[in-house]
Amino acid sequence: MSGPSLVAELEGLVGECAARLDQALALEDLETVRVEYLGRKGRLAALMARLPGLDAEGRREVGRAANTVKEKLTGLYDVRLAALSRAALDASLAGFDPTTPGYVPFGGSLHPVTLVTAEICKAFEELGFSIVTGPEIETDYYNFEALNMPPEHPARDMQDTLYISDSVVLRTHTSPLQIRTMLAQKPPVAVIAPGKVYRRDSDLTHTPMFHQIEGLLVDEDVSMADLRGTLTAFVRRIFGPATNVRFRPSFFPFTEPSAEVDISCVLCGGKGSVGANTCRVCKGTGFVEILGCGMVDPNVFDAVGYDTERYTGFAFGMGVERVAMLKYGIGDLRMFFENDVRFLSQF
C-alpha cells in the first residue's frame, strides 16, 4: 500500500468522527466515540499499525498526516465534550432556586458535663464563692496527708488511687486545691474547685476519669446551719425550688461531723413509685444521694496553719456526671464519653 492512499484514509477519519460526535447526545455516547477513534485499539491506531509496510518517505508522509489528524480528532472531541458538559450542568440546574436556604450541618453543642459544670459554678459564684484550679498530678501530701489521711489511714483504700510514684498521684478529688488555697490565703475563704479527677475504677456507674466540684468556706463562727443553708439553696437553684433536701450522717476523713445530702427523686418526685411500679432511680425510697459534706476537721486546719480556736468552716464535694444524670434523666454514665452526636445534640 502506498503512502498517499493511507494518508487519504487517515484524513477520512476526521469527517467520520465529526459526524459521530454530532450524534453523541450524552457523555457516555461521547466516550464510546472517543474510544472508537482515539483509543489504543481505535481506528487511528489501526491505520498507524500499517506504517512498517511503507518505505522511508511514505512513513514520514503518513506520520505527519497522522499527527495532524490526531490533533483534529482531539480538538473535535474537546469541543463536543465542553458542549455536552455544559448541557448536563444546565439540566442539573433547571428549576434550581438560588434563594432556597441551604442545608445547615450540625455545628456542635456544649457537652452536658460542661453545661452542668458551668451551671454549678454560676450558682456558687452567686453565693459569693470564687473558682480555683490547679494541677491534676498531685503529691501525696496535698492529696492525702494534709487532708487528714496519713499513709496508714484506711480511708485511702476508698480512693482507688492511680500512683505515678510512691509520692506522686493522679488526684483522686479536687480537695487538694482547698489545701493549696488555705496555704496561700488567710480566712475568710470561700472557693469551689471544679476539675477532672482519676480513680482506678471502671463499670456501668464509674469511669477512670470523671469530674468533681468541691467547695470550702472558712471564717469565724461558721456552723453546720450555714452548711445546710448554703447547700439547700444550691440544690434548689439546680433542681428547682420544690426540691426536698435531707442530710444523713456519714464519714469523711477531712470533715467532722460529716453528712450525705439527698434530694427528692427527680423521676418520681419523692413518691418512690411511678404509676404502679417502683421508681428505678430512687429504688422506692423517694430520695437520691447528690453530694457529701461536713465541717472541716481541725486536723486539716492544723496542716495549713489556721487557728482552730478562731476559725471554723465547711467543705463539700459532688460528681458532676452524677448531677448531670439526675438533672437530664440520663441512665448510662458511658453516654457522656461516647461522643454520639445524636446524644450530644439534645443539649
Residue-wise DSSP of 295-333: EEPHHHHHHHT--TTTEEEEEEEEEHHHHHHHHHT---G
Q: Where does the pLDDT of residue 218 fall: very low under 50, low under 70, confident under 90, or very high at 90 and above?
A: very high
Reading the block at residue 91, the C-alpha cell is 439540566
Q: What is the DSSP letter of 159?
A: S
Q: How large is the average pLDDT for residues 133-154?
A: 90
Answer whether residue 20 shows pLDDT above 70: yes
| Residues ≥6 apart with Cβ < 8 Å to 259 | 247, 248, 249, 250, 292, 293, 294
CA–CA gap between residue 331 and residue 119 (Å, rounded): 21
Residue with cell 498530678: 137
Q: How large is the average pLDDT for residues 7-17?
A: 84
Answer whether residue 135 shows pLDDT above 90: yes
- The pLDDT tens digits for 316-334 are 999 999 899 888 888 777 7
* Whole-number pLDDT of residue 48: 82
CA angle 30, 36, 37 (to 5 degrees): 95
In words, the CATH class of domain 112-344 is alpha beta
* Whole-number pLDDT of residue 3: 59
Answer whether residue 100 shows pLDDT above 90: no
Q: Where does the pLDDT of residue 246 fall: very low under 50, low under 70, confident under 90, or very high at 90 and above?
A: very high
- The pLDDT tens digits for 120-133 are 999 999 999 999 99
* Whole-number pLDDT of residue 52: 79
Identity of the amino acid at 121 = C
Q: How large is the average pLDDT for residues 260-280?
A: 83
* Whole-number pLDDT of residue 2: 55
Answer whether residue 347 shows pLDDT above 60: yes
CA–CA gap between residue 208 and residue 200 (Å, rounded): 6
Answer whether residue 161 shows pLDDT above 80: yes
Q: How large is the average pLDDT for residues 190-201?
A: 92
* Whole-number pLDDT of residue 159: 65
Which of 328, 302, 313, 27 minimizes the C-alpha distance to 148? 302
Q: How large is the average pLDDT for residues 110-118?
A: 92
What are the Cα distances from residue 142, in Å, to 137, 161, 164, 175, 304?
A: 10, 14, 15, 8, 11
CA–CA gap between residue 168 and residue 180 (Å, rounded): 16
* Whole-number pLDDT of residue 140: 92
Answer whether residue 38 shows pLDDT above 60: yes
CA–CA gap between residue 19 and residue 227 (Å, rounded): 94
* Whole-number pLDDT of residue 332: 77
CB 310 within 8 A of CB 186: no
Which of 56, 55, 59 minimizes the C-alpha distance to 10? 59
Q: How large is the average pLDDT for residues 212-220?
A: 96
Q: Where does the pLDDT of residue 30 fall: very low under 50, low under 70, confident under 90, or very high at 90 and above?
A: confident
Answer whether residue 308 shows pLDDT above 60: yes
CB 224 within 8 A of CB 233: no
* Whole-number pLDDT of residue 205: 60
* Whole-number pLDDT of residue 154: 75
CA–CA gap between residue 23 and residue 29 (Å, rounded): 9
* Whole-number pLDDT of residue 235: 94
Higher confidence at residue 309 or residue 201?
309
Identity of the amino acid at 248 = R
Which of 83, 78, 171, 80 minimizes the C-alpha distance to 133? 171
- The pLDDT tens digits for 45-75 are 888 888 777 788 877 887 888 888 889 889 9
Which of 50, 39, 40, 41 minimizes the C-alpha distance to 9? 50
* Whole-number pLDDT of residue 43: 84
Q: How large is the average pLDDT for residues 238-266?
A: 92
Over its C-alpha atoms, the chain yields an Rg (Å, rounded) of 40
Question: What global pTM score does this model have?
Answer: 0.67
